[in-house]
C-alpha cells in the first residue's frame, strides 16, 4: 500500500489564491436541506462521484467543524478535515494526508443556495496545487479535474432527482 503523505493545511482563503481554483455551479432538483443530507451520506458519494470508491466518517455524528473522514478512490486514499460547517447550507474541508502524491495542498467548499423548497444551486469551489514534479503538469491536471467535476455535478443532479424523497424525509 502506498505511503500516506501529509498535505499543507489550508482554509477558505485558499479557494481564491490557490494556483488552481475554480467555482462550478449546478442546479439540483431538491431542496438545500435534502441535498446537504445527501452530501453527509457516505454511501451516496461513490454513486455520483466516479473517482470515489468509498467514504468513511472517522468522527461521530453530529458532524461539524473538526469532523474528519477518509475517502478511498481509484488512485488512492485521502483524509479530510472539515474547517467550516453550516448545517444544511455549507461544508468545507482540506486534505490532511493522501496516498496520492500529486497534491501539496487541496481544499473544497460546497455551498447550497436555496431556490425554494424543491430546488437549490450547489456552488462547488475547489483549490489545489500540485507538488514536486507534478507541478510540471498542473495545467493538465486542472483541465482533467474540472472536466471530472462538471460531469459529477450533472450526476449529482440526476442522483438527487431519483433520491430526493428519501433525503427530504430523513
- Please name which of 84, 93, 89 lies closest in space to residue 112, comparing C-alpha atoms: 89
One DSSP character per residue, 79-107 reads: EEEEEEEETTTEEEEEEEEES-TTEEEEE
Residue 117 binned pLDDT confidence (cut-offs 50, 70, 90): confident
Give residue 60's region: left, alpha or beta (phi > 0; psi -120 to 50): beta
| CATH class of the domain defined by 5-168 | alpha beta
Q: Where are the domains of the chain?
A: 5-168
Task: Tell whether the model's pLDDT for residue 73 goes beyond 70.
Answer: yes
Main-chain phi, psi angles of 129, to 5 degrees: -140, 145
What does the pLDDT look like over 9-58, one tens digit per residue? 999 999 999 999 999 999 999 999 999 999 999 999 999 999 999 999 99
Task: Tell whether the model's pLDDT for residue 1 goes beyond 90.
Answer: no
Main-chain phi, psi angles of 45, to 5 degrees: -55, -50
Amino acid at each position: 500500500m502506498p505511503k500516506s503523505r501529509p498535505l499543507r493545511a489550508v482554509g477558505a482563503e485558499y479557494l481564491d489564491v490557490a494556483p488552481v481554483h475554480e467555482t462550478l455551479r449546478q442546479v439540483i432538483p431538491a431542496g438545500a436541506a435534502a441535498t446537504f443530507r445527501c452530501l453527509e451520506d457516505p454511501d451516496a458519494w461513490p454513486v455520483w462521484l466516479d473517482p470515489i470508491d468509498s467514504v468513511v466518517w472517522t468522527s461521530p455524528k453530529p458532524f461539524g467543524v473538526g469532523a474528519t473522514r477518509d475517502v478511498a478512490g481509484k488512485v488512492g486514499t485521502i483524509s479530510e478535515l472539515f474547517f467550516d460547517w453550516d448545517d444544511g447550507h455549507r461544508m468545507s474541508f482540506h486534505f490532511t494526508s493522501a496516498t496520492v502524491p500529486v497534491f501539496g495542498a487541496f481544499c473544497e467548499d460546497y455551498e447550497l443556495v436555496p431556490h425554494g423548497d424543491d430546488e437549490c444551486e450547489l456552488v462547488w469551489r475547489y483549490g489545489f496545487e500540485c507538488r514536486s514534479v507534478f507541478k510540471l503538469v498542473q495545467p493538465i491536471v486542472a483541465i482533467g479535474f474540472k472536466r471530472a467535476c462538471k460531469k459529477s455535478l450533472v450526476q449529482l443532479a440526476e442522483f438527487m432527482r431519483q433520491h430526493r424523497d428519501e433525503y427530504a424525509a430523513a
